[in-house]
Structure 1
Amino acid sequence: MYKSKGIQAYRKDSLKSDLASADPHRVIQLLMQGALEKLALGKGCIERSDLPGKATALTHAVEIINGLRDALDRDANPELVDNLESLYEYMVVRITEASVTKDTQIIDQVMALLLQIKGAWDQITPSRNQAGYTDQVEARVGAV
C-alpha cells in the first residue's frame, strides 16, 4: 500500500512538472492521454463492479474532455473547431450514457474517437507546432 501511494505521488509530481514546462501542444497531448487513462480506468471499474471508482474515473474523463473543448481556438480554423466541439460534446454524452448503463462498449467507442483525434494531434511536428504557436503569439502581441 505504501509503494502504491509513493508511485502515485511521483506520477502526480512528474505530471505537474511536465505541465509546468510544456508548450500548449504538449499540454493538449497530456490532456488527451489523461482522458484515455481515466476512460480505461472507468471501464475497469465497471468490469469489477466498482461503482464509486467508475463514477470518479468517468467524471474526471468528462472534466478533461470539457477542458479540451474549452481550449479550442476559434480563430485558428472555425470549421474544424466546430467539428471538434461537436465531437467532444458527443463524447461527454456517450460517457454519461456509459456511466448510467454500465456499458463498456460505449467507453471503447469514445476511446477510439479520442485516439483518432490524438493520433492526428500527435502527427503535428514540433517545428510546425512551434511556428504556429509563434505566429499566434506574434498576432496577439501585434493586436495589443
Structure 2
Amino acid sequence: MYSSRATQAYEQVSLQSKLSGATSHQLITMLFDGAHNALTRARIYMENNKVAERGEMISKAINIIDNGLRAGLNHEQGKGISEDLERLYAYMSRTLLQANLQNDATLVTHVDELLMNIATAWKEIE
C-alpha cells in the first residue's frame, strides 16, 4: 500500500502535468473544479463538525475565487461581463466568509451553485 506522502507526490506531479499542457480555457475550468471540490468537502466537514477542516476548505475556495478566477478577469476585453463577474466573485467570497463564521451549509451550497452555473457556461464556450 502506498503512503499518503507518496500519494500526495503523485497527485502533485499529475497536477503539474495537467497544468503544463493546459490552455487558458482549461486552466479556468480547473479553477472552477477546484473551488467546487473545496466547497463539497467544506459541506462534508460541516456535517461532521470538523471546524478546522471546514475553515481550510472554505479558505481554499475563497483563494481560488479571489486569486484565480477574479484575478484572471480581463477587464479590457470583457468590459461589462468582466465587471459583473468581478462583483459576483466578491459576493461569493463574502458569502463564504459568512458561511464559515455561521457554520451555514446553505450559504456554501448557494455559492457552489453560482460557481457551477458559471462553470457550465464557461465549458460551453469551448
TM-score where L is the length of structure 2: 0.92
Q: 1:63: which partner in 2? A: 63
The alpha carbon displacement at 1:57 in A equals 0.7
Deviations 1:50-89 (A, max 9, x none): 1110111111100000021011001112100000001100
| Number of positions where the alignment pairs a residue of Structure 1 with one of Structure 2 | 125
Superposition deviation, residue 18 in structure 1: 0.6
Aligned residue for 1:27? 27
- In 2, the alpha carbon distance for the partners of 1:5 and 1:119 equals 34
| Whole-Å separation in 1 of the counterparts to 2:5 and 2:108 | 27
Determine helix, strand or coil for the equivalent of 2:125. Answer: coil
Q: Look up the SS of the partner of 2:41 in the other structure.
A: helix
- Structure 2, unmatched stretches of 5+, are none
Higher relative contact order (CA 8 A, sep 6+): 2
Aligned to 2:100: 99
Q: Matches of 1:55 and 1:5 in 2, distance apart?
A: 23
Letter in 1 for 2:116: L
Q: CA deviation at 1:10?
A: 2.3
Q: d(CA) in 2 for partners of 1:38 and 1:13?
A: 20
Coordinate RMSD, CA, aligned? 1.5
Structure 2 counterparts to residues 1-144 of structure 1, below 5 A: 2-66=2-66, 67-125=68-126
5+ long unaligned stretches in structure 1: 126-144
- Secondary structure of the corresponding residue to residue 73 of structure 2: coil
- Report the Cα distance in structure 1 between the residues aligned to 2:98 and 2:116, rounded to whole angstroms: 20
Displacement of 1:14 in angstroms is 1.1
- Per the TM alignment, residue 3 of structure 1 is displaced from its structure 2 partner at its CA by 4.7
Deviation string, structure 1 residues 96-117 (Cα, Å, up to 9, x no partner)? 0000001101111001000000
Distance 1:59 1:94 in 2: 12
Query: Percent identity between the aligned chains?
Result: 32
Specify the code of the residue in structure 2 equivalent to 1:84.
L
3-state SS, counterpart of residue 60 of structure 1: helix
- Give the letter for the 1:18 counterpart: K
Which structure has the bigger radius of gyration?
1
Q: Deviations over 1:98-140 (max 9, x none)?
A: 0000110111100100000000000012xxxxxxxxxxxxxxx
